[in-house]
Amino acid sequence: MFNPDIQYRCTIIRGKAQKELDNLLPAYASMIAEICPCLKHDFDKIFNDRLSNVIYGKDFLSLNEAHKKTIRNHITEIAGKLFGLYFEKDGLVYEGHSNAKLLEDNDQPAFFKNLCLNFQFPNGTQKIQTIIDRLKNKIKFKPFHFIISLLDLAQTENIKLTKDEIGYYVLNAQEVLQGEITTRTVLNVIKIDRNNGIIKRLGNGSRHTQHIREQLNLLELANLIIMDNNYILLNNNERSVIKLFIEELDKPLSFDIYSYDLGNEYQKLKMYSDWSEYFSQIAVKNPEILATTLFYQESQQKNADKKISTTALGDQGEEFIFNLEKERVAKTHPRLVNKIQLVGKQRGLGYDILSVDAAENKEDPEFARFIEVKSTTRITEPDLKDLSWLDTVNLTRKEWIAAKQYRDAYNIYRVYFTLGKVVVRKINNPFDKNEKNIIQVIPTMYRMDFNSAGIDLEY
């Protein structure tokens, strides 16, 4: 019989607040893609300086010791161990596959789904003493697969599980963590305790609850669960991915730490290296299955349930801004609405929408406005007052030339499709802002031209 009172505190790498994780992810990803592959020493130096300038406005060596420690924690603990955005191998640092996917599709919940699919206990994110303790206690567990499967089973019986129950009966229950207990057994014991008026919860204080909260944060960021006060509910808009988690629950751990001799220094280092490479990979053969479904309101179609795929996100952002611009202009200058054009399909222009200033330029409302749309999907709403908020977008050469050419008439509209609303932020005249060091624009692409003189051999 399952005894949930045999408790075992199975922690994960300490993250940051949920919104802060959502805020930092795209900036980490862009920096890593730009830097890698490179030598470990170069990676540390460049990433240290880049992140220090973004967060503190100074180079790494100019920081005090406390701020240096904060930067290193960002890079090694969050970007590296928790997110798995990069991995080290043979003295080199490489961009992870999940990092490259994120920059391609701008789907942050899909990134967190992938993270949750790859995650397991024990894992290679912690100190060797902690890992050895996990092995001694025979921990073999996929926490996110189990939670999703348990919530799905409870849902079929119209039962809502609480955060305390998930914490006590699952994430802190040693027999469950050992992979010995089924979701049916856990649910039955919870039902028995409820019927007997027995309420079990973890102790008070962050030491007892932080690792539970952080795991649930990741599931929320993955758009897989919804917190309803103290209850945890499945997000049934994500049924295809939920089904995947359930199907993989009973399969062996994808990464077998038990196969390594951790008393051997070479084997220990190999385990850490292998884990970081494994954790950074795409967990599924068809990444499109991870595409996020968000429930948001559009101007013309309220409560529209949309499946935002890799290929559709850019088009969806352009369409949203096109309609937003028509509404904005129509409020004060309806005769100018016909000047608004969606031109994103015309290659080489450097912008997606041609609009007009309208009421935002009282002297010359017909002045042209060139709009480049950059869209992303995330769960939390970005807050301008949040000091942890930072963002990054990639611009093509044509887009940057257009920004230089049109200056004050050129705008980047940053679109965030979030769980509940669409947030749009306008960046006017990015070229001048870069000249004044208000924003940072870094060239990242190289073009190589060559002729027959540069060819060594033809196969």
Q: Does 158 score more than 90 pLDDT?
A: yes
Per-residue confidence (pLDDT) for residue 439, from 0 to 100: 87
Angle at 308 between CA 303 and CA 310, to 5 degrees: 170
pLDDT interval class at 219 (50, 70, 90): very high
Which residues, at least 6 apart from 89, have a Cβ–Cβ distance to it below 8 Å?
Answer: 273, 277
Predicted confidence (pLDDT) at residue 295 exceeds the cutoff of 90: no
* Per-residue 3-state assignment (H helix, E strand, C coil) for 198-233: CCCCCCCCHHHHHHHHHHHHHHHHCCCEEEECCEEE
Q: What is the model's pTM?
A: 0.90
Residue 309: pLDDT above 90?
no
Query: Residue 18: is its pLDDT beyond 50?
Result: yes
Residue 389 has pLDDT above 90, yes or no: no
The more confident residue out of 455 and 210 is: 210
Q: Which element (helix H / strand E) includes 321?
A: helix 312-332
For residues 419 and 307, the model is more confident at 419
Report the C-alpha gap between 176 and 140 in whole angstroms. 9
Residue 55's pLDDT is: 87
292 vs 305, residue with greater confidence: 292
Overall average pLDDT of the 308-333 stretch: 86
pLDDT band at 290 (very low <50, low <70, confident <90, very high): very high
Residues 38-49 pLDDT 10s: 999 999 999 999
Q: What percent of the chain is predicted at pLDDT more than 90?
A: 79
pLDDT score, position 294: 62
Query: What pLDDT, on a 0 to 100 scale, did the predictor assign at position 307?
Result: 47
Task: Output the average pLDDT for the chain.
Answer: 92
pLDDT at 302: 40
